[in-house]
Amino acid sequence: MPLHSIQRLCPTAVLGLWHLTETPAELWAELPNPTAYQPLLPATADAKRQAQWLAGRRLAHRLFGEFPELSPSEVLVQNDATGRPWLAGASTETVVSLSHSGEWVAAVLARGGRAGVDVEFIRDKAQRLAGKFLAESEWEHARAVTADSATETHYTLLWSAKEALYKLAAQRGIIFRQQLLLHEFSPQTSGEIPATLVLHGAQTRHRICYTQPAPGYVLTYCYEPAG
């Protein structure tokens, strides 16, 4: 079982990482309640996507064990109309956020509050599309800090951070370059990115944690307890 790690973010939330090496058949064999999951598998998913989808559910079920009050056999990871995962059979306060890219799957499971997680394979796509998701001030800062460093990693990190904040916001129609704003930070192997979410005419401040779980990947996550 390629469970990579489980990290307790606080008493009410955990972060899990899964290093995907299995085939879909191997993942089905270990997935609780496969009969209930079979009709939920996206019909257009190829073998790679199937494995990522299944590993996300396997990881979520593993994280259920970190909260004794949950009954893993009765909980099912489903997706709402927007594609956001939710937990059927668990209390409404229990939240889950999932992400996958390449060989890595990430999840945050929490009892209350809001959560967003994103894992990304580092490539040049984010840099090529920077003008579509970065505000001008963010772009200027990115150009300054990448003058002598790996640009693909930094731009992928910025994209991933906005994805994590977008998932935490749980609202459709958000414009990344106007409503998900990242503030200046000094890029390291791991750290935090200060951010502002502009939603419904209000601005809220957030901190997005980031790290590199393996060479060639970045991971970002944000969890905020209720209240």
40 with 83, same domain: the answer is yes
- pLDDT for 34 equals 94
CB contact at 8 A, 225 and 13: yes
95 with 189, same domain: the answer is no
pLDDT digits (tens, 9 = 90+) for 37-47: 999 998 898 99
19 with 94, same domain: the answer is yes
Residue numbers of the chain with a pLDDT score lower than 70: 1, 71-72, 148-149
- pLDDT for 74 equals 78
72 with 172, same domain: the answer is no
Total-model pTM: 0.95
Residue 104 makes CB contacts below 8 A (sequence gap 6+) with 4, 17, 18, 19, 20, 119, 121, 213, 214, 217, 219
Cα–Cα distance between 96 and 71 in angstroms, integer? 15
Residue 191 makes CB contacts below 8 A (sequence gap 6+) with 185, 209, 210
- CA-closest candidate to residue 154, choices 166, 142, 162, 164: 142
Q: How many domains does the chain have?
A: 2
pLDDT digits (tens, 9 = 90+) for 187-197: 999 999 999 99
- CA-closest candidate to residue 211, choices 176, 187, 227: 187
55 with 126, same domain: the answer is no
157 with 102, same domain: the answer is no
197 with 104, same domain: the answer is no
Instruction: Look at phi and psi of residue 24 and say left if phi exceeds 0, alpha if psi is from -120 to 50, else beta.
Output: alpha
- Domain containing 173: what range? 122-213
52 with 88, same domain: the answer is yes
